[in-house]
Amino acid sequence: GAGVSQSPSNKVTEKGKDVELRCDPISGHTALYWYRQSLGQGLEFLIYFQGNSAPDKSGLPSDRFSAERTGGSVSTLTIQRTQQEDSAVYLCASSYGTPKVYEQYFGPGTRLTVT
């Protein structure tokens, strides 16, 4: 079946520009997560959507980062005024229910390079 998809797969942008990263979760999954993976840093939690509840934004590193999830499905992560330290692989995941029990299914990621 279809897994989590992300677009674009690679994005190169100039410092100061805004970027939008897209995530299409698995159909029927109510929970959606964004992570950032930097070399040697593991996975850094960014934001979590669960159904119609207010998102958990506790992991967003600055107010330049925001995300929305429209219609409980597709999500967009927006980074405004990109900085070189934003360069990383941005991973999206979805799960059937709460992260307590259900495993997360990850997309292939978007590699962002800020020049």
Partner 1 sequence: AQSVAQPEDQVNVAEGNPLTVKCTYSVSGNPYLFWYVQYPNRGLQFLLKYITGDNLVKGSYGFEAEFNKSQTSFHLKKPSALVSDSALYFCAVRGNSGNTPLVFGKGTRLSVIA
Pairing mode, strands 75-79 and 19-24: antiparallel
Separation in Å, CA 87 to CA 28, 102, 104? 31, 30, 24
Instruction: Kindly state whether residue 54 participates in binding partner 1, applying the rule CB under 8 A.
Output: no
| Minimum CB distance to partner 1, residue 3 (Å) | 8
> Per rule CB under 8 A, is residue 65 in the interface with partner 1?
no
- Subset of residues 19 to 38 that bind partner 1, contact rule: CB under 8 A: 33, 35
Total residues binding partner 1 (CB under 8 A): 24
Nearer to partner 1, 71 or 100 (CB): 100
CA distances from 100 to 18, 23, 96, 97 (A): 34, 22, 11, 8
- Which residues ranging from 74 to 103 are in contact with partner 1 (CB under 8 A)? 91, 93, 98-101, 103
Closest residue by Cα to residue 22 from 81, 107, 114, 102 = 107
- Give residues in contact with partner 1 (CB under 8 A): 4, 33, 35, 40-43, 45, 48, 50, 56, 91, 93, 98-101, 103-109
